[in-house]
A and B are shown apart, each in its own frame.
Chain A
Amino acid sequence: MRPENYQAKSQPPSNEYELNFGPNHPGIEGNYAFKVKLNGDEVLEARADAGYLHRGFEKLMEGRLWIQNIALVPRICVPDPVPMEVCYSLAIEEIGGLQAPERAQWIRVMQLEMSRLAAHLFAFGGHAATTGMYTPMFWGVADRDLVLDRFEELTGGRVYSIYNIPGGVRRDIPDGFLQRLSSLLDYLESRLPDYDNLFFTNQVFVKRARDVGKMTQEQALKWGVTGPNLRATGLAFDVRRDDPYLVYDRIEFDIPTEPGGDALSRNLVRRAELKQSIHILRQVIDRLPSIKGPIRCPIPNPLAWNVPAGEAYTRVESSKGELAYYVVSTGGDKPYRVHVRGPSSMHAVQVLENLAVGSRLEDIAQIMFSLDACPPEVDR
């Protein structure tokens, strides 16, 4: 366009304006852009833009050997990587007709719950920060680090454990690990009242979060909400109980729910789940020593492993909700297609966009963090 032909588009007089929220902001664990149209403080329209953290995981997986992907999948969700590994492994086991030995299944449950603890500690700390309270964030992150210490001991890596492999797990548990895990659980349990005093029953948080980002159970189901966010609308749905995998059907645990459907309820569900995860882990600690046997079923040489043609859809309950892998094999040494159903892709797109409309600008970060979405999981 020639400059002399330029004409500024004339706009009718309006109070409306657009605001770019992100991609870096305290409302979410990672890069995520959220474009909102406001009238004063009131949100009129909201668009999520997930592309800032696109790393092309699903496409990358098609070019890598089945086993090489175990180093890739945990990266899809940094705060809660274990469900990624387990779910991917379960899918391959289903297509390939493999059965992970019982000991491996218990070890997987152990890691999954450790990962849930770590993720929830991270999430409530993060939410507190959006409320302006930084102490809970420091506590949450510091206590999560203690869980990571146990991950380091078990898997050799603090964050990306890369410990699960189709057929089982890669190493047996180190000597004395269960005792150390047990004392960690005692410590974390002793911290729960502190978290409550500091955050979950703190009126600054309660009053701030109540009725913020409220959705009904019908809305939640329509939008594909799962996990703690769904349970915060009063529906006790949990993949661990309703479609049990591994050895969850042999473990006792409650499924906490809250009726409110708002940011407060979502956090209270996570708080209750901290206790449940500790409860599950104690059962694992009791049972695991008596379960002998291998930690992995025999698998072919990874460099020449053709998983038989077929497809599988496996799902697990991650800290964010229902995580599923749809894996297709054409009988080759690499996946033909892997689709990841990340729970965050619902929570951070259609749910967030809907909940934001009608809310106030200052509530957006509250809504976002209370949904506990993980950006890389949105755009794989």
Chain B
Amino acid sequence: MSDIAYKDKGSILRPIKTLGFFGRKAVTEKLEPRPAAANYRGFHVNDWEVCIGCSTCQKVCDNAAISMVKIPSLPEDPVKGIRNERPAIDYGRCCWCGLCVDICPTSSLSLTTEYVHTCREDELDSYFILPDPKGIHAEHFPRGWSKSEDADLVDLERQPMEELDAEERLKSFDEMVEGFTDQQAIIEASRCVQCGMCHDSCPTHMHAPEYIRAIWEGNAEEAVRQIYRSNPFSHVCGRVCTHRCETACSIGRRGEPVAIRWLKRYAMDAVPDLRIREIAAEGKVDYISGKKVAIIGAGPAGLTAAFDLIRKGHEVTVFEALDKPGGMTRYGIPEYRLPYDRLDADVAVITSLGVKIQYNTRIGEDISFSELERNHDAVLVTIGLQQGRSTRIPGSDHQQVKKAVDLLRNITQGKAFTVPHSAVVIGGGNVAMDIARSLARLQKEQYGEVRITLTALEDFDHFLADPEEVKEAREEGIEILDSRGPKQCIISDNGELSGLMTLRVVSIFDQDGRFAPRYDDSDNQMHAADMVIEAIGQMTDISLFGDELTERLEWKRGRLKVDQDGHSSEPWLWSAGDMVSGPDVVHAVADGHRVAASIEKHLAVPGS
């Protein structure tokens, strides 16, 4: 029998009773949003202050859901490695795997615990979002899946670079850095996330991501090919470049930047010199333009311009006053940092393309400037800064007070001079380090001990020399004193130099930012020495221009006035390198390219 107690008869209005349900409480409950787990992979947030726009998230995204969007209102600074681009995410593609978070070099990107988004048909664009710190609906949901130390996908540690220890270094001028092995280079190259910050920050915009990738692929020749797209001084730059690339490197945000400079050095050393010449010649035109260009000074700027111009089919002659090429890279940089045979290899690539270098030819003496002008379609002056500046403190005219650049040149040329038993170096830049460390080696050789003091105006927080130079100089036994300003060179009664008196620096610049050091007279120190070396900067010897041309040219604070491409007020005369800009090899190379492009443009005009 059925459980349902039905009746045969009943009112036809009985179903109306069911209307009573309207008055009852609902059985269903309203669904409240359920909070997600603390580790949830929900919508993205991005800390715009921390994000540098490196686009690594975009590269790892397996759904190609991320695109980089330019935000003009945000700051952009290629030198510091900051782009004003931020990742935008297409939630039609995203799978919330969180790889973007795990690989983010800056840790700016996170996922939140927010996971509900819906919209009307006409708002479908709302699935394409530009994550900011507030989140998709500006509701500041707590962070869910975010970077954790043990799950970081960025390799923050660099491959160790083998170096001679200080004791071994002091014994000779042998190169102290040993370079990467093949294995180390591949591992180091594999750390790169190909963000290109290095390319943007490099003065000559080297194709570092490309050559690093090629090294990682084990293709050193391709790496050299990429290197020669923008830098014919890569043996040099692979050793002594100031590596702005590494400052900008996005891996360096939280860890050690990729060793871009050492990788360049590795690639250049891995390929035989003859093969490098073939690679460098690949882009050379197969015709002769009939134009002649004279370049004065065989330094990096001049030879880079020569490299570019010879590849365009012009006849290029370089006039060099000394007997070897390289300029400051040879006569300024000590051999323990840059072996001369590597510099020679770089120059040999350039001469192998047909650039002629006339050594021991001083313009203004051996050949007049007007003769150059007459015989060439364009003249480029890249003579650098070869004269040391003097402090002009009392006693600085003593014969035992030397200029760092002169001494370094002497050391390179092998000219004999009396190595001081003890020396004081004035200056805190890399040139000061170079002369101090060179003298240390000579002292060690001749006297068995190092007695060198280096006094710098700057304090250690604002030091000019590279931190590694400071560290290595200390290891070699050089005493480095910061915030010391030179007062006077002390000359004893018999006319011998007995040392340098320094004062503590109170401030270096005045309120307007002009160089005007102030000293505390009560805090003076005497540094005993039989030689004082000034390493406080260099200037150009402009005597080669001659009176008549000097009169015709425009000058700006003692420097030749040129436009941004290095073109002077004379239509046939250009200038580049340290003498117009500065301050290092890679800037000189960049300047060389720039000026070569300007000359090339000028020569392309018929009748020029």
Please give the residue numbers on chain A whose beta carbons come within 8 Å of chain B beta carbons, in ascending order: 64-65, 67-72, 149, 152-157, 160, 162, 170-172, 174, 294-296, 298-306
Check B99 against A295 for contact (C-beta < 8 Å): no
Q: Determine the chain B residues whose CB is within 8 A of the CB of A301 once the complex forms.
A: 153-155, 190-193
Instruction: Indicate which residue in A69, A156, A303 contacts B60 across the interface (CB closer than 8 Å).
Output: A303
In-complex Cβ contact of B96 among A70, A157, A294, A300 (8 A) = A157
Given contacts A171-B39, A301-B190, contact A160 B95 (CB under 8 A): yes
- Chain A residues whose C-beta falls within 8 Å of the C-beta of B59 in the assembled complex: 303
A108–chain B nearest beta-carbon distance, Å: 15
Please state if B155 and A156 are interface contacts (CB–CB under 8 Å).
no
Partner of A302, one of B37, B150, B153: B153
Check: B62 CB closer than 8 A to any chain A CB: yes
Separation of A174 and B40 alpha carbons in the complex (Å)? 12
Tell whether, in the assembled complex, residue A157 and residue B99 are in contact, meaning their CB atoms are under 8 Å apart: no
Task: Tell whether, in the assembled complex, residue A302 and residue B39 are in contact, meaning their CB atoms are under 8 Å apart.
Answer: no
Residues of B within 8 A of A171 (CB): 39, 145, 148, 150-151
Which chain B positions have C-beta within 8 A of A303? Answer: 56, 59-60, 103, 192-194
CA distance A160 to B96 in the complex (A): 9
Residue of A nearest to B95 (CB): A71
Chosen A-B contacts, 29 in total, with CB atoms closer than 8 Å, are A64-B62, A67-B60, A68-B62, A71-B99, A152-B36, A153-B37, A153-B39, A156-B37, A156-B40, A157-B40, A160-B97, A170-B102, A174-B38, A174-B39, A294-B150, A295-B150, A298-B155, A299-B153, A301-B153, A301-B154, A301-B190, A301-B192, A302-B60, A303-B59, A303-B60, A303-B103, A304-B189, A304-B191, A305-B190
Collect the chain A residues with CB atoms within 8 Å of residue B111's CB: 156
CB closest chain-A residue, reference B153:
A302
Q: Assess whether A65 is in contact with B62, with CB atoms less than 8 Å apart.
A: yes
Chain B positions 181-201 with a Cβ under 8 Å from a chain A Cβ: 187, 189-194
Query: How far apart are the CA atoms of A306 and B187 in the complex, in Å?
Result: 10
Q: Nearest Cβ in chain B — how far from A324, in angstroms?
A: 23
When the two chains form their complex, are residues B144 and A156 in contact, meaning their CB atoms are under 8 A apart?
Answer: yes
Given contacts A67-B60, A157-B96, 13 further A-B contacts (CB under 8 A): A71-B63, A71-B99, A155-B39, A156-B144, A170-B102, A174-B37, A174-B38, A294-B150, A295-B151, A301-B191, A302-B60, A304-B191, A304-B213
Residues of chain B lying within 8 A (CB to CB) of residue A298: 155
Contact between chains at A302 and B99 (CB < 8 Å): yes
Question: B40 — which chain A residues lie within 8 A by C-beta?
Answer: 152, 156-157
Q: A64 to B64, alpha carbons, bound, how many Å?
A: 11
For A149, give the chain B residue with the smallest CB separation: B37
Chain B residue numbers with a CB within 8 Å of A305 are 190
Please tell me if B41 contacts chain A, counting CB pairs below 8 Å: yes
Indicate if the CB atoms of A152 and B37 lie closer than 8 Å.
yes
A204 to chain B, nearest CB (A): 19
Closest residue of A by beta carbon distance from B97: A71
From B113, which residue of chain A is reached at the shortest CB distance? A156
Cα–Cα distance between A68 and B56 once the two chains are bound (Å): 14
B145 touches A156 (CB 8 A): yes
**How far, in Å, is B189 (CB) from chain A's closest CB?**
7
The reply to whether the CB of B228 lies closer than 8 angstroms to some CB of chain A is no
Q: Which one, B38, B99, B148, B155, contacts A300 given CB within 8 A?
A: B155
- The verdict on B98 contacting chain A, using a C-beta distance below 8 Å, is yes
Chain A, interface SS category: loop
Residues from chain B with Cβ under 8 Å of A71 in the complex = 62-63, 95, 97, 99
Question: Does B216 sit at the interface, judged by CB under 8 A?
Answer: yes
| Binding site secondary structure of chain B | loop
| Assembled-state Cα–Cα distance A149/B36 (Å) | 9
Most buried by B among A70, A296, A298, A303: A303
| Complex Cα spacing A84 to B608, Å | 71
Residues of A within 8 A of B60 (CB): 65, 67-68, 302-303
Q: Output the residue of A152, A162, A174, A301 with the most chain B CB within 10 A.
A: A301
Contacts of A304 in B (CB 8 A): 189-192, 194, 213, 216
Shortest beta-carbon distance, A292 to chain B, in Å? 12
Distance in angstroms from A173 CB to nearest chain B CB is 10
Contacts of A157 in B (CB 8 A): 40-41, 96
B62 touches A296 (CB 8 A): no
Most buried by B among A156, A160, A162: A156
Q: State in angstroms the CA–CA spacing of A155 and B36 once bound together.
A: 12
> Which 10 pairs, one residue from A and one from B, show the smallest C-beta to C-beta distance?
A68-B62, A71-B97, A156-B41, A304-B190, A153-B37, A152-B37, A156-B39, A156-B145, A162-B97, A300-B190
CB distance from B216 to the nearest CB of A (A): 5
Give the Cβ gap from B36 to chain A, nearest Cβ, in Å: 7
Q: Nearest CB to that of B217 among chain A residues?
A: A306
**Complex alpha-carbon distance, A101 and B41, angstroms:** 25
Chain A residues near B103: list those with CB within 8 A.
302-303
State A64–B63 Cα separation when bound (angstroms): 10
CB distance from B443 to the nearest CB of A (A): 44
Question: Who on chain B is nearest to A75 by CB?
Answer: B95
Contacts of A149 in B (CB 8 A): 37
Specify which chain A residues have a CB less than 8 angstroms from the CB of B102 in the assembled complex: 170
State whether A72 touches B62 (Cβ < 8 A).
yes
Min CB distance B487 to A, Å, is 53
A174: chain B residues at CB < 8 Å are 37-39
**Shortest Cβ distance from residue B417 to the other chain A in the assembled complex, whole angstroms:** 50
- Point out the residues of chain B lying under 8 angstroms from A300, CB to CB: 155, 187, 190
A296 to B148, CA, bound (A): 12
Query: Are the CB atoms of B191 and A67 closer together than 8 Å?
Result: no
A170/B151 in contact, CB under 8 A = yes
Give B5-47 interface residues, CB cut-off 8 Å to A.
Answer: 36-41
Question: In the complex, A206→B150 CA distance in Å?
Answer: 50
Asked if A296 and B150 make an inter-chain contact with CB atoms under 8 angstroms apart, the answer reads yes
Shortest beta-carbon distance from A237 to chain B in Å? 34
CB distance from B195 to the nearest CB of A (A): 10
Q: In chain B between 53 and 111, which residues have their CB closer than 8 angstroms to a CB of chain A?
A: 56, 59-60, 62-63, 95-99, 102-103, 111
A52 to nearest B CB, angstroms?
22
Chain A nearest CB from B198 CB (Å) reads 15
Whether the pair A67, B99 counts as a contact (CB closer than 8 A) is yes
Closest Cβ of chain A to B178, distance in Å, is 24
Residue numbers in A under 8 Å from B216 (CB-CB)? 304, 306
A69 and B187 CA atoms in complex are apart in Å by 22
Min distance, Cβ B182 to any Cβ of chain A, angstroms: 14
CB proximity of A106 to chain B, nearest CB, Å = 15
| Chain A residue, CB-CB nearest to B155 | A301
User: Roughly how many angstroms separate A149 CA and B192 CA in the complex, as a whole number?
Assistant: 38
The interface residues of chain B lying within 8 Å CB-to-CB of A306 are 190, 216
In Å, the complex CA distance between A149 and B144 comes to 15
Q: Which residues of B contact A153 (CB under 8 A)?
A: 37-39
Complex contact A156–B98 (CB within 8 A):
yes
CB contacts (< 8 Å) of B62 on chain A: these are 64-65, 68-69, 71-72
**Min CB gap B201→A, angstroms:** 20
Distance between B32 CB and nearest chain A CB, rounded to angstroms: 16
Q: Which residue of B is nearest A172, CB measured?
A: B150
Give 1 or 0 for each of B153-167: 1 = CB within 8 Å of chain A CB.
111000000000000
Please name the residue on chain A nearest to B61 by beta carbon: A68
A154 proximity list for chain B (CB < 8 A): 39
Given the complex of chains A and B, what is the CA–CA distance between A162 and B98 in angstroms? Answer: 9
Chain A residues near B39 (CB, 8 Å)? 152-156, 171, 174
The CA-CA distance from A70 to B111 in the complex, in Å, is 18
A296 to B154, CA, bound (A): 13
User: In the bound complex, how far is the Cα of B62 from the Cα of A70, in angstroms?
Assistant: 10
Which B-chain residue is minimally distant from A153 (CB atoms)? B37
Report the bound CA distance from A299 to B191 in whole Å: 11
Residue of A nearest to B41 (CB): A156
Complex CA gap A303/B37 in Å reads: 29
Shortest C-beta distance, A74 to chain B (Å), equals 10
A302→B59 CA distance, assembly (Å): 10
What residues of B have a CB within 8 angstroms of the CB of A170 in the complex?
Answer: 98, 102, 151
Q: How far is the CA of A305 from the CA of B103 in the complex (A)?
A: 13
Bound CA–CA A294/B149 (angstroms): 11
CB distance from A297 to the nearest CB of B (A): 11
B266 to chain A: closest CB distance in Å?
A: 16
